[in-house]
Chain A
C-alpha cells in the first residue's frame, strides 16, 4: 500500500520542491541587493505582458518542449539521456542540409522534410550511445555526455570547413532560401483577426511541439510499445521475464528521444535563425532535463514546465536588460529546480510520508491493548 495518496505524490511533492527552489532563488536575488518581488513583476510584464513577450516565451517553450519530451521518454525506460544538446545540434545539421540542398516548393513540404531530417540526425546521434549501452554495457550517461562534446566539435568542423560560404568570416551556413521560411505566429493568427507581434520568433513549430506532446502521450499510455517501455523502466528483470527485449526497448526509447531532441532544430534553426550557426542550441538540451523532471516525465507536465521555463528565459532576459541581475540567474533557478525536483525529492517526500502516516494513524481506531499482567 502506498503511504501517500496519489494526488500528494503527483502534485504536492513537485509543488513543494518548486516552492523551495523559488524561495532560494528569491534569497539569491535579495543577496545581490535587488528586490525579488519587483523582479518577478518585471519578469511577468516582460514575458507575458505583450504579444512580443509571449512570442519569445512561446519560442523558448517550443525548444524546451522538444528537449523535455526527449528526456521524458528516456526516463520512462529508466535511461538518462543527457545528450539532448548534442542531438539537437545534429538535428540542426539535418535541417540545414534539408533546407540548403533540396529545392522545396512550399514551406509546408519544407517543414515536413526538415522535420524528418532533424529527427533522423538526432535519432542517429542517440542510437549510437543506445547501442553501446544495450550491446556493450557502456554507461549511457557517460556516452551521451561524450557525444555532446563530439557533436560540438563535429559541428564546428562542418561549419568552418564545409558549409561556410566562401568569403564569409563567421562559422555559419548561408541563409536558407525563401521557400523554407516558416510562418510566425503573427502570420498564422492574422487571418483570425488576432494582432500578434511581428518581431517575436514564435512560429508554426510551436504547434508541431504541441502535437508531439499529444503523440507522446498516446505512445506512452495507449500503445503496446509504450507499455513495454514503462514496464522496462519499472523493472528490467520483470520486463525480461515477460518477453520484452531490453536491447529493443533501449534502442527504441533512445531513438525516439534523440529524434525529439533533434526536432527542436525546426524551431531554432529553421524558424528563427534561418541558417545554422555555432552553438545554436544555447543549452536547451540541458534545460530539457529540468523540464522533464519538473513535468514528472508526463507530456502534460512537460508542456506546462516548458511554458514556465520559456517564461523564465524571456523574463530573465528582460531582467538582465533593466536591472543589474545577470542572465545567469536563470541558470541558477534551473539548477535549483533540477536539484529539488530531481535529486532532493526524497527530502520533501520523507517528511510528507511521515505526516500522512501520522494522519492515518490518528484517524484509524486504535487497536485495543490488553493490559499486561505483571509477572509473578
Chain B
C-alpha cells in the first residue's frame, strides 16, 4: 500500500468517524447524567431527514442544520418526559424513539416530496461543502507533508471540524466546570446532588438536551455532508455503533475520539478489501469486518480486556424520598 492510498483511507476514516463521534459524545452526556439512551439512532435519523428536507426546500444548509437539531431536540424532549418526568423505562423509550423516527421520516418524506420516502438530491448551497484550509493548495506538492495536509487535514466540511472541536470542549465541560461536576455526580449518585440543593431533574434535562443537539448535528452531517439528501433508514445502525464506541471509550471523551476513529477505520476498510488483502496477505469478508465493532464491544463489556463500568445510577429514575 502506497502513501497516497493510506492518506485516502485515513481521509474516509475521518469522514465516517464524524457522525459516530458526534453521536458518541451525545450519548456520553446523556449517560453520564444517568439517562440511558438507545435512541441515538432515531434522533440521528430524524435530524438527517429534517435537515435534508429544509435544505432542499430553502436551499440553505444552515437552516437545514437548525431544523435537524430541532427535530432531534424534540425527540430528546420526548425521551426526557418519559424517562425523567414520568420515570418510565429509559430503554423502552429509546426503542420507541428509534421506531418513531424510522416510520415518521418515511411518512413525512413521502407526503412532502412523493419520491418514495427520500428527499430530492441536494444542490450546491444545500450541502456542507469541503473547506480548503489556508495554504493547502500551496504546499500540496511538498513531499510527505503536502498530501497529509491537503488531502487528510484540509478539505472536510465544517461539521467535521466542529465534531473534532467538540471533544476537548466536552472534556473541559465535564471535568473543568461546576456544571460538569454536577452532571457527572447526577449519574453516579443523584441523591447527593439533591441533598446539595441542586435540581436532579434540571440537570438531567440539560444533559438530554445537549445529547439532542449533538445527535442533530450528527444527523445533519449524514444527509447534507456525507451524502446529498435523505434516504430511508440512512443512519444504518450508526447510532448503535456510537453506543458501542461509548462503551468502548468507557464513557470518556478522549477515548470516544479514538474509539470512533477506530470504528470509522473499520468502515473505511469495508469498502477497500484490496487494501486489507495487500496489508495482511489474506482476504477478509466485508460482512465480518462490519461486525467487528460489535464483537469488540461485547468483549470489552464482558471485561475480558479492561473493564467498562457504566455510571452507577444509569437507567434508574430518581425518586425523591417522601
Contact = CB atoms under 8 A, between A and B. Distances in A.
A90 to B, nearest CB: 14
Contacts of A141: 38, 91
A170 interface: no
B173 interface: no
A156 B243 contact: no
B298 interface: yes
Interface in B280-322: 285, 287-288, 290-291, 294-295, 297-298, 301-304, 310
Interface stretch (B60-68, B96-104, B174-182): B96-104
A371 B93 CA distance: 51
A336 B102 CA distance: 12
B100 A336 contact: yes
A350 interface: yes
A347 interface: yes
B137 interface: no
Contacts, number: 150
Interface residues of A, number: 50
Contact of A149 (B82, B294, B301): B294
A137 interface: yes
Given A141-B91, A338-B92, A339-B82, A329 B290 contact: no
Given A326-B107, A331-B103, A338-B96, A343 B88 contact: yes
B251 interface: no
B130 interface: no
Chain A interface helix/strand/loop/mixed: helix
A224 B38 CA distance: 35
Nearest to B92: A342
A33 B111 CA distance: 8
Interface residues of B, number: 47
A350 B86 contact: yes
B7 interface: no
B301 A157 contact: no
A343 B103 contact: no
Nearest to B108: A32
B163 interface: no
B99 A344 contact: no
A228 to B, nearest CB: 23
Given A138-B302, A147-B298, A335-B99, A344 B82 contact: yes
A369 interface: no
Interface in B238-257: 240, 243-244, 247
A326 B117 contact: yes
Given A33-B111, A344-B86, A339 B303 contact: no
A153 B291 contact: yes
A326 B106 contact: yes
Contact of A28 (B107, B247, B304): B107
A28 B90 CA distance: 25
Nearest to B110: A326
Given A82-B91, A326-B107, 11 more contacts: A82-B95, A138-B303, A142-B247, A146-B295, A331-B99, A332-B99, A332-B107, A338-B95, A343-B83, A344-B88, A347-B81
